[in-house]
Copies of this chain bind each other. A is one copy, B any other.
């Protein structure tokens, strides 16, 4: 034996913050309109940085037609030292765990929608494609978030709308755009720490 890996090394475990349990349980069981769903997501993004539990990003999985709340995830990068612990990865993975499938669009399931407080970053855009959601609802897209917050969103393919469409994922844009931007400005004004990969100088 040359190495000493144990089972404890060989796993990933990422949990939501404690405040989110009550916050989720206090939500209505259904949020019928896109605006209500986005308002909840923006509220979770604010609670996340105000509670010092992660960056100003949240993502909710809902049943598309009824608005049933499946789960809302928040960014957990700093808490876990895990650069993949973005809100979308948290939300999609928790929803899939609850439903027992990697495919939120599987036969026999109601159609699912992901609601995010900005266009997903390069990584999370891919995660949306693989998740099986039938709809993506975003507060906006464009350089505003990078400019306000300093986070690098990465290179999403130019024809991102086409990539969604070709995979049967409907896109709803500009839902509560101003409210989302206001929350990012609140984050920036709070002088919270902005992580980015490769803080080192080399």
Residues on B with beta carbons closer than 8 Å to the beta carbon of A126: 121-126, 154
A50 at the interface (CB under 8 A from B): no
Q: Give the distance in Å from the alpha carbon of A5 to the alpha carbon of B69 in the complex.
A: 11
Residue of B nearest to A198 (CB): B105
Shortest Cβ gap from A59 to chain B (Å): 12
Residue of B nearest to A30 (CB): B2
Residues on B with beta carbons closer than 8 Å to the beta carbon of A27: 2-3
Q: Of residues A5, A101, A108, which shows the largest number of chain B Cβ atoms within 10 Å of its Cβ?
A: A5
A43 at the interface (CB under 8 A from B): no
Q: Which A residues between 7 and 25 are near B, CB-CB below 8 angstroms?
A: 7, 9-16, 20-21, 24-25
Q: Give the distance in Å from the alpha carbon of A83 to the alpha carbon of B127 in the complex.
A: 7
- B13, B15, B195, B200: the one within 8 Å of A102 (CB): B195
Contact, CB under 8 Å: A201 / B124: no
Number of contact residues on A: which range applies? 35 or more
A78 at the interface (CB under 8 A from B): yes
Shortest Cβ gap from A91 to chain B (Å): 10
A156 at the interface (CB under 8 A from B): yes
Residues on B with beta carbons closer than 8 Å to the beta carbon of A124: 123, 126
Residue of B nearest to A101 (CB): B81
Contact, CB under 8 Å: A3 / B24: yes
Mark interface residues in A152-192 (1 if CB within 8 Å of B CB, else 0).
10111111100100011000000000000000000000000
Contact, CB under 8 Å: A105 / B154: no
Contact, CB under 8 Å: B12 / A83: no
Contact, CB under 8 Å: A103 / B200: yes
- B4, B26, B102: the one within 8 Å of A25 (CB): B4
Residues on B with beta carbons closer than 8 Å to the beta carbon of A198: 103, 105-106, 132, 134, 167-168
Contact, CB under 8 Å: B96 / A83: yes
